[in-house]
Every structure is written in C-alpha cells, then in structure tokens.
Chain A
Amino acid sequence: MAFKLSEEQQELQRGFRDFVAGRFPLERAAEIADGKPDHALWGEVAQMGVFSLRLPESAGGLGLSYVDAALVFEELGRALVPGPTVWTHLATGLIDGAATGETVVTGLDLTTNLHTPYVLENLDAARAVLLLKDDGVFRLDPGSIEAMPVEIPLDPLTPVHHAATLPTGEKIGDAQTASSLSLLGSLLSSAMLLGIAQAASEMAIAYAKERVQFDRPIGSFQAIKHMLADTFVRQELARAAVYSAAGTLDHPEVGDAATAVAEAKLVAGESAMRCCRTSVQVHGGMGYTWEVPVHYFLKRTWVLETTFGTVDEHADRIAATFGG
C-alpha cells in the first residue's frame, strides 16, 4: 500500500493543527488543571466535526476515512484536548446527539483485560456510558452507576470515578459491533499517543537548543543528541504503525486490521512513554516542576495506555497470531 498522505489529508492535518493550537494552547490546559473549566471548548471541537467526521455526508457527516480520523485524533492528542473525545466519536450512530457532541459519551472497554475497580473517565460530564463487552454493546445511564469520585486524578485534565460493580444496562449493539468499536477506540487512542509523543519530543528538542550549561547548548552534548535521536525514531515508528493500521481499516483487503491496530497501540504506547520520559530528563530540574507542561503529556499517556488494551495485552494478542 502506498504510504503518502494526500493533498486533502495534509490540508486536514494542518487545518486541524492550527485550530487546536489557536483554540487550545497549552496555557489553556494549565488553566483547566487549575480549576478554570473551558465550557465552550467541547462545542467548538464538535463543530469541527470530530465526532461526525466518518459519518456519510448524507447523514450530516464529512464522509472521511479512518486515516483522516487518525490525523484528527493525533492533533487532539498533541494539544491535550480533554476527553471523552474518543468515546463520543465511537458513540456516533449508536447514541443520539453524539455526532454533534450534544450528548457527551464516556465508556469502558471490557473486551480488554480490565482490572477492577472499574475506572471511568469524565463521568460527570457524560450523559451516556458505553460498555463494550464480549457479547455486545451496552448503554448505561451515568446516574445508575454507583461510582465514587477520585479526589486527585493522575492527569489533572482527566477526572475519574471508580466503581466496584456496574449495572447491566441496555443492549444497543451486537458482539461484532463491540469488537469493531474496541478496534476503533484502540486506533484513535494510538493516534493520540502519537500526537503526545511528538509534542513531548518537540518540547525537549526546543529546550535542548536553548538551555545552556558548560557554556554550550545542552543539545550539543552527545548524550542528549542520542536520547533525542532515539525518541525521534520511536515517534516516526509510531506514526508509521498508526497510519498503516488506519489504512488497513480503510482497505481491509490489504491486511489483518485487528493485528495492525494492536501493533499500532503497542508501538504508539511505548513511543509516547519513552518520548515523555526523555523529555522530562532533558528538561532537568524544570522537567520535574508543575510549571513546565511535560508532566501533562506523561500523565495523559498513562490514561491512554490503560484504555483499549495496554501494551502487554496487545503484545499477547500479537503473539497469539503465531498460533501454538
């Protein structure tokens, strides 16, 4: 399969990057973390077509592909746009109002190897909860879940609740739908991890050029160059894995989409973790402060890494393709 983004795709990517960079610069993320919510943001993200972009034009969508969706979610990841964007996107076509963002939807993928307690993201904002299970898709009313808010979430931009049990809810999709939504959730999360990997690396590269120790920019030290070169390679591997998994979903005849997505989630997860850690290290003592935003990327990486299957679970799935 040829591996080049079309003119339109490059334009979509640029357009979206400009939109989020303008509308949601990192300073806004920091303000939200300080307790100043940005109520208008969700509506504007919806207006950009984030939730409806794959719906056919006849249904009010943009008729775009999986690759296009991956490009858009990469930018959402890069800019740390708060959730639950992936779940609301998944709910499009299943839950009224999701496509326009009017119904905020969160969820849990129980087809992956989830630990209890059940940890739900953005529950307070949500009007519906999707459960993906081996036997189908279920819709829950957020009010029906006996969930406890977690006082201090790891990611300051991702409030969480935990629950020991979940109600059964109403079945709104079959097993096949559940598994394809899990796949799509994995793909979009991988795309966000790719965006994070790149954002964290770019911050480190910029800092390495600017920070002077021993009368030279620290980027001139071979140790720093090697670390940044390694993260660059990881980040580009993640890009290749994510775009090709999306391409495989668009063209199922070219390969096994489930494996391609599992590989993308694994590679992007490891890449983001590595890039964020390196970025903290390159920033030295500043990297350990709240003020320098690298930690937001690291913390969001943990959020995404534990949704739609962890690195280990995807490795198990990939290994299973060898039979034995």
Chain B
Amino acid sequence: MYDAGWAGISWPKAFGGREASLVEQLIYYEEYARAKAPYVGVNFVGLLHGGPTLIVEGTDAQKEKHIPHILRGDQVWCQGFSEPSAGSDLASLRTRAERDGDHYVVNGQKIWTSFAQVADYCELLVRTDPDAPKHRGISWLIMPMDLPGIDVRPLPTLHGEGEFSEVFLDNVRIPVENLVGAENDGWRVTNVTLRFERGTAFAGEMYDLKRWLSEIAAEAQKVTSYGARAWDDAGLRREIGHLQADIDALWNLLKLSIGQADESGVPGVGASAVKLFFTELKQRIGDVAMRVLGRAVLGRSDMAGMPVQYFSYEALQSLSMTIAAGSSQIQRKIIGERILGLPKDK
C-alpha cells in the first residue's frame, strides 16, 4: 500500500502520499471498502488524524521522522487527550508539563487511550501554563511511548477486553523538539486534530455501514422463525430500506461537506453534522442486526452459521461512538452554536 503511494492518499507526495483532495480520498474509500480491504485498525490515530495534524502543524524534522513511518504502518500512534476529569471538557486537562532545560517533565494521567498498549507514539496534550485561562495554557507534544515513567494499564471495555487503557505519567521527560505548534498554542492544534478526527477519519467506517447492512439483509433472508424467513416481516424490510437510504444520504452529505472544506484542507464544523448522524445511524443498524439474530444474540460467538460475533460486536461498539470523539450532546451544541448561531447557554 505504502509503496504504491496509497496508504495516505491525501498526504503530500514528498511524504509518500498522492496529494489527493479530500473528495478523491472518499472515492478511494469507496473502492477500498468495496474491495473488502482490511480496516486500518491500530493505525487509525496515526493515519487519520495524528499524521494529518503533523502535516499541517509539524516542523520539517517532525514530518520527516514520523510521516513515512505512519504511512508504512510501522509506527503506531495513540491519542492521549482525555483525562479522568477532562472528557467533554477537554480544555480542563491537568496533566502538567514543566520545562527543564531542553525537556518537558510531564506528570499526570490519561484515560480511555485507545491502542496505548501497542502504540509507539502518543499525541499528548499537556498543560504548560497553569496560570493562563484554560484554553491558553495547553501544548501538543509527541510522546514516544517507550520513555521511562509511562505506565499503561489496560481498562476493559464492556466487551470484556482491552481496547483502551489508562496511562499514568510520572516524571516523563519529553524533548522540547517534540512540541507541535507553539508552546501554549496547543488548543488550536488540538482543534485541527479533532476536525480531522470528526471529519474524514470515520469515512472508511461509514462506508462499512453499507456492507454491514447488506450482510444483515442477507442474514434475514436466511434465518427462519417458525419456517418463515425473518425477511418475510414487512416491518423489518421497510426498516432496512430506511437505513439504506440514510446510509447513502450520509455518504453524500460527507462528500458535500468535504467538498466545501477542500480548499483549506481541514474539515469544517459541518463534520459535526456528519459525526452526529453517522454514530446514531450505526446504533439503529445495530438494533436491526440484533433483531435479525433473534435469540442467537445471547452468545458472543458464532452459532449455527450465524455471524453473531460480527453483528453483536458492532452493535455494542456502536454505543461508544456517540460518546467518543465528541459526544452526540456536544455535537448538537456545536451545530446549534457554531453553525446555526444560536446563543450559547450559560
């Protein structure tokens, strides 16, 4: 993938990309998903928002050190933004970085850090000026995950396994050259990252909804209840029709909103509309998937040839999507205040 310049197709040619526009990138996702190519998985953070952030905000040295490796998939990244008391209110984060010569000494705790167990680098947000207003004292650092003082403790999800972790930082010394953007200007850089995360990063997963729904429909045509196919239920068929229309509309909305953002290269606030609708749509699809499984939902592993593991994993996973990367409530607030211009609530 990398060798052919496909891994980060919107990325600059100088770094092994193809300089595709965001819209071209979507066409690529369509083809990629259609070919049933593997999901980016652990490379999600690096490929879809860490790398893009470095391209926009990083120094030449940072780009050179990381971008080709992220593309090749031999540098896994994680996102160390959230903290136990700073989730939706990310700017209230407390992890402290104090300057000591040409290093920052970092102390604090991160939580829900996906892939921290396997990551080589972390997009780390720290507080560099505790006296400034909360949005002004934040910096964005590249943290190598093998530094002394980093303790990663897996935090089991409701699946019963670790996808994310808690990350404890005890006097971790990070070179000052790992600062992305200016010191105390991290909030602006963060917003660049978040806009990639909410805007284009989900495109592949969005496209996967199509595949999931068609597998649900195929399964409904197979499973029987009392001799009749689940598919013979007009209510179910109609719902699948609604979902398919919504999936296609969402995909077109994504193209539209990205087309508008293409000039700046950074997805705009319209990304919130896409993220909100996508994540709630995925939950509706999950409900239908569970209905089609009938009593087979009571297992997490496949039974009698039914794709129980796939369907139930995705249905449960969809619950996290309205929480992570800006909850649905926060997206509605952004749409209301920043797109519609409604007054802010006190």
Contact = CB atoms under 8 A, between A and B. Distances in A.
Interface of A: 113-119, 121, 148, 150-156, 158, 160, 162, 164, 212-215, 221-224, 277, 280-281, 284-285, 287-291, 295, 298, 302-303, 306-307, 310, 312
Contacts of B329: 221, 223-224
B25 to A, nearest CB: 29
B320 interface: yes
Contacts of B304: 116-117, 162, 164
B345 A222 contact: yes
Given A121-B298, A154-B298, A288-B323, 8 more contacts: A115-B223, A152-B300, A154-B299, A156-B160, A222-B345, A285-B111, A289-B155, A298-B158
Contacts of B301: 150-152
A109 to B, nearest CB: 10
Main secondary structure of the interface of B (DSSP, over half): mixed
A156 B295 CA distance: 15
B112 A114 contact: no
A186 B78 CA distance: 47
A306 B295 contact: yes
Given A121-B298, A287-B323, A310-B291, A116 B224 contact: yes
A293 B85 CA distance: 20
A284 B297 contact: no
Nearest to A149: B299
Interface of B: 82, 85, 87-89, 92, 111-112, 155-160, 223-226, 230, 233, 235-236, 283, 290-291, 293-301, 303-304, 312, 319-320, 322-324, 327-329, 332-333, 345
Contacts of A158: 298
Contacts of B322: 281
Nearest to B306: A117
Most A C-beta atoms less than 10 A away, residue of B88, B158, B226, B329: B158
In this complex, the member of A121, A156, A290 whose beta carbon has the largest number of chain B beta carbons within 10 angstroms is A290
12 contacts: A116-B223, A116-B225, A119-B298, A215-B92, A280-B323, A281-B319, A281-B323, A285-B111, A288-B158, A288-B320, A290-B160, A307-B295
